[in-house]
Structure 1
Amino acid sequence: MKKIIDLLEEKISKAFEESGYDSKYAGVTISNRPDLCEYQCNGSMPAAKQYKKAPFEIASSVVEKLTDKTVFKEINVVNPGFINIILHEGFVSEYVNSMKDEPDRGMDKSEEKLKIIIDYGGANIAKPLHVGHLRSAIIGESIKRICKFMGHDVIGDVHLGDWGLQMGLIITELKERQPKLPYFDENFEGEYPQEAPFTIGELEEIYPAANAKSKTDETFKDAARVATYELQSGRRGYFALWRHILNVSVADLKVNYDNLDVHFEEWKKESDAQPYIPEMVEYMKREGYTRVSDGALVVDVKEETDNKEIPPCMIIKSDGATLYNTTDLATIVERKKLFDPNHIIYVVDKRQGLYFEQIFRCAKKTKLVDDKTRFTFIGFGTMNGKDGKPFKTRDGGVMRLEDLITSINEAVYNKIMENRVETEEEARRVAEIVGLSALKYGDLSNQATKDYVFDIDRFTSFEGNTGPYILYTIVRIKSILEKYKERFPESAAKAADILPAEQIQEKNLMLELLKYNEVIESAYEELAPHRLCAYVFDLANAFNKFYHETNILAQEDIERQMSYVRLIVLVKEILEQCINLLGFEAPDRM
């Protein structure tokens, strides 16, 4: 289904051509002055330079050709040459009616179905999720849903950190605590226990203790390095321990990600890329892509057009060890072999921008992927406290993600209980749904690259630009529809068209609906969930203004009442579709 702007541009393009001007100047935009008009075309200004005429003269001749009163209620020229457009109510309602009858409300899917991998999550084994993991998970999940909605084959990969020094630290600390475990006996040849020798709680205490010890005890740190090397070299007992660490950690991570309604198609790990490293390194050396610099193996990725310094991408350290660079490049090799993606998107802290620039360039230069493979780095900013510093607990520590979720849910629960109409059990259930919307919307409504302040009072407010406000709007519509069904069961069962608007709030609500396809498309093209947030807020505001000016259930004109009902059904459907793409849902009651 064509976007409303495309339909308008077709008509204005024809008018430009009939007036003797190039149709490329017929671009239409939503007006940034809704008090003056609804849409506008500003092409007369750049056209004036080509045709050596006044913009007003060009615009006037174009407007003379736009005589279709079924489309244009008003169309006029404003100095120096703006073409201001107000649409006819019948044209607007006709388009809205088409939306309600089309699958996905008339959203056109992408013409070419792509294979897309989104790398988000990035949790580390044996460590609890904390607030630093929040943005990657929330932004990545929303982008994945948007890409899927546009018709692509999308794979979300958690890409767990499971192969670095933290494994050696845990193994070494565990060896000091329980030296008699069979995993540490190099002569043990039997079957290792199927039960892990620790719980997730114990594991999460072991790692920070080991990490702290490594900073003051060089002997311990050296032992951890040796343990890491032996694990990566295939020591049987350590590999069995690593498997226990992995299983216990992943089970806990899945619970926490499920609580966020964040899901992954692949639970890949750094270790999965290790088998690809030897052949990849050998290939790079053989093809002449590498050179030796101070004993390290590197690939030069700087280009002549660079205005800033881009260091070489190190593949192997001078001591023969691999790096994150090596693992990430091998992961690209693995993804190419297993999935052959057209596009790989990384949702990572924006401070990693230079690092990923090196990785992408290295992968392209060494032809690990072909020229058509696209890489995108989505760098996100920091979630800060009210003091402007990275969000911490009251005692200055890094807050666990589950504690943050609990605090949000508790704040929403307390607000619900202030006007208690539900049972406590129902209030708790609703608080979890609304709390998740507060958390996700509070994050996603900001442009990803920007830092933002986590303000629990503002995020959980039922007024203003918040998740709870959006949900409250949807619940309000559900309540109206339920009452309508009870009072007018016969009318509720009938299909109805949406009539042309009779009042300004009604038309403004329809005009917001017209933006839907364009907003989804731009959110996809820019990989920008904040575009969706801005739209659902505007749509919710337009509905609430319409609601306050229109007594739907008391409307005496039955046909007009049915039109109102069908209109708000469409509003509800689009709001629900948008919040699903953002990663949350609405309850039936609030």
Structure 2
Amino acid sequence: MAPVTSLASTVDQRIADALSAALPQAGAADPLLRRSDRADFQANGILALAKQLKGNPRELATRVVAALAANDVIKDIEVSGPGFLNVTVTDRAITETLAARAADERLGVPYAEQPGTTVIDYAQPNVAKEMHVGHLRSAVIGAAMVELLEFTGEKVIRRHHIGDWGTQYGMLIQYLIEHPHELDHEDGAVDGESAMSALDRIYKASRAAFDSDQEFKERARDRVVALQSGDEQTRAHWQRFVDESKIYFYSVFDKLDMEIHDEDIVGESGYNDMLEETCRILEETGVAVRSEGALCVFFDDVKGPDGDPVPLIVKKSNGGYGYAATDLSAIRDRVRNLDATTLLYVVDARQALHFKMVFETARRAGWLGDGVKAVQLAFGTVLGKDGKPFKTREGETVRLVDLLDEAVERATAVVREKDKREQLSEPEIAERGVQVGIGAVKYADLSTSASRDYKFDLDQMVSLTGDTSVYLQYAYARARSILRRAGDARPVAHPELELAPAERALGLFVDQFGETLAEVVSTYEPHKLAAYLYQLASHFSTFYDQCKALDENNPPAVTENRLFFCDITARTLRQGLELLGIRAPDSL
């Protein structure tokens, strides 16, 4: 089915045509249409035109109104103030546009005109280390952007750049060689918790040995050399740590209701074979130079507190490779082998300078050409209620699994309390608790601008009121409940009917869904979709209070039309929540 033209686009085109007819000397003028509190839309473009044409703006506006042919879209248009055009659309246009959206499984949202290939780097835990609250935002924001981009028709390639390389593995591997059964599990059974428990035990024991036993420290350092040189036994033990960690990673991502696939995990080790060539190219082309034995890239606008240049170190003076070498090699791979047109990095804002320098280096080297853009979708920090970095009472970093389990526990209590009629079974309450709890955590993250810090407050997150996912899920469930209770009545659009104010407001807002998604994807700002969905749920709440769909005094056509508004709203809420990675249960 062809995409549906929004009312805003339709009105914009009608006024643009009238501008051309009334003021041909103005050329293809932009009406500068926007939403308005005084009418449905307001066109402000005539003020700029009046300056250009040296005319009276109200007089010009009056000529444009006269040039507007009678139509079934614009009900009323008036000149306001110094030359604004206040536009009210017909009720028929609202209902017919929504009916066209309802006939399409995509709700009339068009695909991108020129989709490309985005490689998105997100959800980057470290091998043999516990995932904590600091890993939440990259995973949640990244997963939402994957859904949003794919919905527009973009080809999306996921990359989880896990920390799976470095000197600490010499310590871990050497300890495992000397204690070969430390990663064994009883009866061969292993789950995420037991995998992490074993890894944590080995990490603490190996660290203690490394710090206290000089001979073990030397053996561990020798093991690093063996790992980097490709020794088979050493690599096999390293792989055990990676595989064990994946069991744990997958269990955490499963709690987050996210799918992570083996083929998408390409960690730091995946670029080892490219590092030397990357450095050689940078040095031969003059992009990088030697400084105090290290291979560095310098920038005019990056200086330290003393005013001296701060370089990007690609290769250290001892021959070791910095993070920059790996990140630059990853760019080469993603552009050359994956045909990326966009590289999107969902990474902590504190790494902004690093990525600024990496991207600029890649541009100087020609790896980021005119047809490829690199973007860091930087995110802020998760804070506690006190506005300080989120820690346990003991001052330790909060484990991500503990946080998610507590969210589900709180949400389950809310669902049980809401289910006063005891319509849900215990398994259903448990299922809803997971959907509501995980949705609450995700929405709290996604409803905040990614670049900002936010306070993690579970009491607020699982509230039925306010800007929460529970409020949105409840609005969806309420709409579905109305449709279930409608008996033989079915949702049918009736464009001939006059709409109540709450119906008009709801209909006009539903029609903004496609425009909102286009903006969200173009700016990589999923919080704008969350804001849209919250406002949509608020409009539906007003509609629910003022326009009773199942009132026995309604004529059949009114009932059918209001059921239609319930249905199109529910579908829009559900689609929007799905794009944010949040479940929408039919009942709460």
Q: Distance in 2 between matches of 1:523 and 1:478?
A: 27
TM-score, reference length from structure 1: 0.90
Structure 2 letter corresponding to 1:530? H
Runs of at least 5 residues in structure 2 that lack an aligned partner in the other structure = none
CA contact (8 A) 1:166 1:207 kept: no
Q: Please report how far the alpha carbon of residue 166 of structure 1 lies from its aligned counterpart in structure 2 after TM superposition.
A: 2.9
Relative to structure 2, which stretch is displaced further, 392-401 or 499-508?
499-508
After superposition, give the CA deviation of every residue in 1:459-510 in whole Å (9 maximum; x if it has no partner): 10011110001001111111111111xx21xx43x86545544310111110
Query: Could you tell me which amino acid in structure 2 is paired with residue 146 of structure 1?
Result: L
Instruction: Write the letter of the residue equivalent to 1:282.
Output: R
Show the counterpart of 1:377.
376
Match of 2:76 among 74, 77, 87: 74
Which of 6, 11, 14 pairs up with 1:8?
11
Instruction: For residue 211 of structure 1, report the CA deviation from its aligned partner.
Output: 5.0
Correspondence 1:530 to 2:527 = yes
Q: Post-superposition shift, 1:199?
A: 4.1
Cα shift at 1:140: 0.4
Looking at structure 1, the residues matched to 146 and 309 of structure 2 have their Cα atoms a distance apart, in angstroms, of 30
Counterpart residue number, 2:572: 574
Structure 1 CA distance for aligned equivalents of residues 109 and 210 of structure 2: 55
| One-letter identity of the residue aligned with 1:553 | L
Question: Is 1:480 equivalent to 2:482 in the alignment?
Answer: yes
2:291 matched to 1:288? no
Displacement of 1:58: 2.9
TM-score of the superposition, structure 2-length normalised? Answer: 0.90
Q: Is the 2:341–2:372 Cα contact (8 Å) retained in structure 1? A: yes
Shift of 1:114: 0.9
Letter in 1 for 2:383: N
SS in 2 for 1:148: helix
Shift of the alpha carbon at 1:286? 2.9
Q: Per-residue CA shift, 1:440-473, capped at 9, x if unaligned?
A: 1111001110111111111100111100010011
Structure 1 residues 528-572: Cα deviation after superposition (integer angstroms, max 9, x where no partner): 111111111111111111111122122431122111112211111
In 2, Cα distance between equivalents of 1:288 and 1:153: 34
Q: Which amino acid aligns with 1:5?
A: A
Distance 1:369 1:434 in 2: 42
In the TM superposition, residue 128 of structure 1 has moved relative to its aligned partner by: 1.8
Deviates more, 1:497-506 or 1:360-369: 497-506
Once the two structures are TM-superposed, the CA of residue 2 in structure 1 deviates from its matched residue by 2.4
> Which residue is 1:440 aligned to?
442
Q: 2:539: which partner in 1?
A: 542
Alignment of 1:54-133 (within 5 A): 54-68=56-70, 70-133=72-135
Q: How far off is 1:6 after superposition?
A: 1.8
Question: Is the contact between residue 77 and residue 87 of structure 2 (CA under 8 Å) also seen in structure 1?
Answer: yes
1: CA distance between counterparts of 2:221 and 2:205? 16
The superposition leaves residues 183-237 of structure 1 with CA deviations (integer Å, 9 ceiling, x where unpaired) of 9xxxxxxxxxx999x9431212332554577678887666544433321122332
Taking a change above 3 Å as real, the CA distance of residues 112 and 180 of structure 1, as seen in their structure-2 partners, is closer
Whether contact under 8 Å (1:170, 1:206) holds in the other structure is yes
Question: 2:43 touches 2:86 (CA, 8 Å); kept in 1?
Answer: yes
Q: Distance in 1 between matches of 2:353 and 2:372?
A: 19
Code of the aligned partner of 2:270: D
Q: C-alpha separation between the residues in 1 aligned to 2:22 and 2:342? A: 43
Matched-pair contact (CA < 8 Å) for 1:59–1:82: yes
Of 36-45 and 211-220, the range deviating more from structure 2: 211-220
Q: Percent identity?
A: 31
Check the 8 A contact 1:501/1:507 in 2, yes or no.
no
Contact 1:42–1:83 (8 Å) recurs in 2: yes
Unpaired runs of 5+ residues, structure 1, are 184-193
> How far apart, in 2, do the equivalents of 1:27 and 1:103 lie?
31
User: 1:401: how far off?
Assistant: 0.9
CA displacement at 1:323 relative to structure 2: 0.8
Cα distance change, pair 301–195 in 1 and its aligned pair in 2 (3 A): farther
| Alpha-carbon distance in structure 2 between the residues aligned to 1:342 and 1:367 | 14
Q: In the comparison of the two structures, how many residue pairs are matched?
A: 566
Q: Secondary structure at the match of 2:29?
A: helix
| CA distance in 2 between partners of 1:257 and 1:182 (Å) | 25
**Residues 278 and 325 of structure 2 are in contact (CA less than 8 Å); yes or no, is this contact kept in structure 1?**
no
Does 2:170 align with 1:168? yes
For residues 82 and 380 of structure 1, the distance between their equivalents in structure 2, rounded to whole angstroms, comes to 39
**Corresponding residue SS for 1:104:** coil
The equivalent position to 2:557 in structure 1, one of 556, 559, 562, is 559
How far apart are residue 430 of structure 1 and its match? 0.7
Distance (whole Å) between structure 2 residues aligned to residue 210 and residue 497 of structure 1: 72
CA distance in 2, matches of 1:155, 1:76: 50
The answer to whether the 8 A contact 1:113-1:152 is kept is yes
Give the structure 1 partner of residue 334 of structure 2. 335
